[in-house]
Amino acid sequence: MGIAVQSLSKSFGDHQVLRDISFSINKGETTVLLGSSGAGKSTLLRMLNLLESPDQGTLNIANMEFTFHKGQKPSPSSASAKACQLRRKVGMVFQQYHLWPHMTVLANLMEAPVQQGISKAEARDKAIGLLERMGLPDKANAWPSSLSGGQQQRVAIARALMLSPEVLLFDEPTAALDPAITNQVVEIINELQASGITMVVVTHEVDFARKIASRVVYLENGEIVEEGTAERFTAPQTSAFKSYLQH
């Protein structure tokens, strides 16, 4: 199983930002989350690795299950041991890369695995291998600030892959990149999909979404309006998604 969410809801104060969200994704699929600004895409993505706690609902991901009940203190909380275990299996890549500026590329990649007890030699070998896979074999000793945006994003993807996650979450990974560089990210995501990793990608860019998606979830105002396979791009079944695709 990949990911299944059942009746997830979330409010910030009086503002309900996600309402009764249910969907499931098979292992190895790439799902894009689309919707206009404020629809709740990032909040939903962050819930998938419990950076945000749902108010209620059930989350199944990476063979772990989390249930939340309204009115109860979030349990497990985002800081619980179980949530930490989840985040080792569910990696995340952000629009702004979030590399540590005071560490070289290699040190950025080695940090988390070494913290978790993997030997430095093993972490280094894995890091070098991933940098090669990302087309950055000569950047191991570079500082993040000396890299282009596209290179930094590939380092961020390599870093997320260091823990061999079962699921990789991306929040607008190409929003800061120009179109040619976006295609490098497309190639990487498609290669990762071929290797069996389950991915969920938030994006505003419909062209990018079409190139990577095997499934699509379209949100409006915190609710799923349309959800299905990538065929929905050519045959949308709601007028709302159809009109979203046209602008």
Ligand X SMILES: Nc1ncnc2c1ncn2[C@@H]1O[C@H](COP(=O)(O)OP(=O)(O)OP(=O)(O)O)[C@@H](O)[C@H]1O
Q: Which residues bind ligand X (CB under 6 A)?
A: 12, 17, 35, 37-43
Residue 168 CA: distances (Å) to CA of 28, 93, 147: 10, 8, 23
Region for 58 from its dihedrals, namely left if φ exceeds 0, alpha if ψ lies in -120 to 50, beta otherwise: beta
Smaller CB distance to ligand X: residue 54 or 144? Answer: 54
| In the complex, minimum distance from the CB of residue 172 to ligand X, in angstroms, rounded to a whole number | 7
Indicate which of Mg ion, ligand X, none lies near residue 2 (CB less than 5 to 8 Å, by partner kind).
none
| In the complex, minimum distance from the CB of residue 243 to Mg ion, in angstroms, rounded to a whole number | 20
- State the angle between helix axes of 120-133 and 149-161 in degrees (0 to 180), rounded to the nearest 10: 130
Residue 162: which of 113, 216, 206 has the closest Cα?
113
For the sheet containing 3-12, what is the strand order?
15-25, 3-12, 56-61, 64-68
Question: Residue 149 belongs to what H/E stretch?
Answer: helix 149-161
Report residue 191 as tokens.
């290669």
Smaller CB distance to Mg ion: residue 42 or 49? Answer: 42
> Looking at 23-31, 37-45, 61-69, 99-107, which segment touches Mg ion (CB under 5 A)?
37-45
Q: Taking CB under 5 A as the rule, does residue 42 contact Mg ion?
A: yes
| In the complex, minimum distance from the CB of residue 96 to ligand X, in angstroms, rounded to a whole number | 12
Smaller CB distance to ligand X: residue 46 or 126? Answer: 46
| In the complex, minimum distance from the CB of residue 83 to ligand X, in angstroms, rounded to a whole number | 17
Smaller CB distance to ligand X: residue 30 or 43? Answer: 43
Q: Among all residues, whose Cβ is closest to Mg ion?
A: 42
Smaller CB distance to Mg ion: residue 42 or 108? Answer: 42
Q: How many residues bind Mg ion (CB under 5 A)?
A: 1
| In the complex, minimum distance from the CB of residue 56 to Mg ion, in angstroms, rounded to a whole number | 22
Strands (E), the chain: 3-12, 15-25, 30-34, 56-61, 64-68, 90-94, 167-171, 198-202, 215-220, 223-229
| In the complex, minimum distance from the CB of residue 174 to ligand X, in angstroms, rounded to a whole number | 13
C-alpha to C-alpha distance for 217 and 226, rounded to whole angstroms: 6
Report residue 73 as tokens.
């203190």
Binding site for Mg ion (CB under 5 A): 42
